[in-house]
Chain A
Amino acid sequence: MRDAAPASDIDPRDIRDLVTPLAGLEGPLLPMLHAIQEEWGHVPAAAVPVLADILNLGRAEVLGVISFYHDFRDHPAGRQVLKICRAEACQAMGGAGMAAETLVRLGVDWHGTTPDGAVTVEPVYCLGLCACAPAAMIGDRVIGRVTPERLVRELGA
């Protein structure tokens, strides 16, 4: 991922170069959006007309798809993304209290980013770690039987 550049600095030509090789896929829009987000950490507004043009879609249609999915963000997240599972199996193991305390310790609410830009916290509904609940994920790294202390330590926050 490139350093999070202000959205206005992202050149539409770079977006086009990145996604054009995917245009031959059947159902290419989601792979394109994932590629863009992987590259820039979010889906910049500048991507919408580019995708609409390549795929012969309306801009509203492209925006509608972006906004439908929880994964796609319109601005960069913090340097680390912490996802805490809120689903039933984790609740059965005290997940709700664990999440609430973690949020207090980090001083953010769900979807919030710490003021220093270090951590964004998001809810997730199931990580498939239901037999070692409660569970969380930092970036792509999964953690089971998690405590607020452990999370704060792992984040270096």
Chain B
Amino acid sequence: MKVWVPMDSAARALGADDVAKAVAREAAARGVDVQLIRNGSRGMVWLEPLVEIERDGQRLAYGPVAPADVAALLDGTLEGHGPVEEIPFFARQTRLTFARCGVIDPLDLDDYAAHGGLAGLHRAIGMDGAEIVAEVTASGLRGRGGAGFPTGIKWQTVAGAVADQKYIVCNADEGDSGTFADRMIMEGDPFTLIEGMVIAGLGVGATRGYVYLRSEYPDAIRVMTEAVRIARARGLLGPDVLGSGRAFDMEIRKGAGAYVCGEETSLLNSLEGKRGTVRAKPPLPALEGFLGKPTVVNNVISLATVPVIFERSAQYYADFGLGRSRGTVTLQIAGNVARGGLFETAFGLPLGEVVNDIAGGTASGRPVKAVQVGGPLGAYMPVSKFDTAMGYEDFDAAGGLIGHAGLVVFDDSADMLTMARFAMEFCAVESCGKCTPCRIGAVRGVETIDRIAAGDAAAIPLLTDLCETMRDGSLCALGGFTPYPVLSALTGFPDDFATQREAAE
């Protein structure tokens, strides 16, 4: 009997290790032959630990499973959810990037290949660099880390640069609250990221790569490090990638707890062993990146999506989506939500449908008040904007940003002045200190919001003015985008600012 118990951090955080131990213990006690596989997560976090058992060729889902449920689980008497892929939350998805996540043993390269892995790389090996870049451009893939910059254009720039050494750097510094897609794919299907980086290397002529992985993700660091070791041993990495005669190798590097290192130029400085301060652009990292050499800096999900584009074709991928937002978006539904988790779908679903229909509203059962989309630098979207479609341009037009596609749901007990203050406080804690609007502005922002809370109405225009300065005068998105949550809280939820004022009077 095959039994899958996830080793994903979210599943472990909810007790999966104890369940796995109980399965092994119970199976041994009964003398039953159980093959226990520690898979990634299917992304239905409210059902974790979600255990799957193979029966009649189908994988049946049970969850959340506690160690005390394991006897009934093996007896077949525990109530379950039926075949895992028929659970409505899962059945409604289009899984391209996450097709294997939760399905395979993350560190079994043969299992990976049996589920479509390496097919993309084999196709890419038959192409020259220009054809590889053209394929990515044709797919319409845009940077999934937040900025949404066309990946093909970035690769083109690096491919066209002349240098003795070029690099592929994967930004795995997923620090935005409400986002966990990078972590999930690195823990659940690490070879897809490695394969994507190899294809990128072949495309632009880079022979070395780095994954800059945040230290807050010890499980992902373990899995990725082991996956790189296996890939090297099996010839997927090294001087002769899968017998192609072309070289590519890579390393996992651990961050050190600085949020700003998710910004690409800070990341490059940090990778070089410097303070993680922001660099002015130009020069673009594509021309002068890591150690001054041409460097592709892409987010985990962007790179992990490359293999499926080559496996299924650019056109197949581009046929999903909305307007200039092509392909799929990996929505991460989090916070106060009944059904939280990862939902991969074509761009274009309205925000309200995601929150109310797919996620089932709040966990508390109270009305939704706001949804912060795109991390700590994203806007708080009020319910009145729930018809906004999940697309880069649509969110921009609605005064928000889709970012890394994390959605944090708040119920009506949330105080938006408190959240605005937190945004400024977070910016003050995490500012790299390079530019004044961010370094000083964030501190003044906290003070100004405290004045509003104390009843000083004159501080409101001051806050608006400060936000304008931060937005226009900061070098990077930390200072430049902190005004999004602050101003969206102020304009979308004026009562929370007025009530405080009246209470103080």
Contact = CB atoms under 8 A, between A and B. Distances in A.
Interface of A: 25-31, 33-34, 55, 64-65, 68-72, 83, 87-93, 124-133, 135, 137, 140-145
B211 interface: no
A87 B13 contact: no
6 contacts: A29-B273, A69-B257, A130-B408, A131-B340, A132-B10, A143-B13
A31 B270 CA distance: 11
B216 A124 contact: yes
B14 A131 contact: no
A92 B176 CA distance: 14
A132 B408 CA distance: 12
A87 to B, nearest CB: 3
B178 to A, nearest CB: 5
A128 B218 CA distance: 11
Q: What are the 4 closest A-B residue pairs judged by CB atoms, nearest first?
A: A29-B273, A131-B340, A130-B334, A87-B177
A70 B432 CA distance: 12
Given A68-B275, A91-B419, A130 B332 contact: yes
B297 to A, nearest CB: 14
Contact of B45 (A30, A83, A132): A132
Contacts of A145: 13-14
Contacts of B175: 125-126
B444 interface: no
A71 B255 CA distance: 9
Given A130-B332, A144-B10, A88 B180 contact: no
Interface string B273-284: 111110000000
B231 to A, nearest CB: 19
Nearest to B48: A132
Contacts of B271: 27, 30
Contacts of A69: 256-258, 276
**For B178, B259, B410, which residue has the most chain A Cβ atoms within 10 angstroms?**
B178
A61 to B, nearest CB: 8
Contacts of B178: 87-89, 130
A127 to B, nearest CB: 6
A72 B410 CA distance: 33
A88 B376 contact: yes
B10 A28 contact: no
B376 A93 contact: no
Given A69-B256, A129-B13, 14 more contacts: A26-B208, A55-B273, A68-B277, A71-B257, A88-B178, A92-B411, A126-B176, A126-B177, A128-B183, A128-B217, A131-B45, A140-B219, A142-B10, A145-B14
B333 A88 contact: no
A54 to B, nearest CB: 11
B272 A71 contact: no
Contacts of B430: 125
Given A89-B335, A126-B175, A72 B256 contact: yes
Contacts of A143: 13
Contact of B408 (A55, A71, A88, A135): A88
Given A65-B275, A124-B216, A142-B13, A130 B256 contact: no
B345 interface: no
Contacts of B406: 89, 130
Contacts of B189: none
Interface string B289-325: 0110000000000000000000000000000000000
B437 interface: no
B252 to A, nearest CB: 10
B366 to A, nearest CB: 11
**For B9, B341, B426, which residue has the most chain A Cβ atoms within 10 angstroms?**
B9
A88 B414 CA distance: 11
A25 B45 CA distance: 38
A5 B426 CA distance: 34
Nearest to A145: B14
A131 B332 contact: yes
B493 interface: no
Nearest to A51: B273
Nearest to B274: A65
B422 interface: yes
A144 B180 contact: no
B348 to A, nearest CB: 22
B93 interface: no
A93 B259 contact: no
A135 B258 CA distance: 19
Contacts of A129: 9-10, 13, 180
Contacts of B328: none
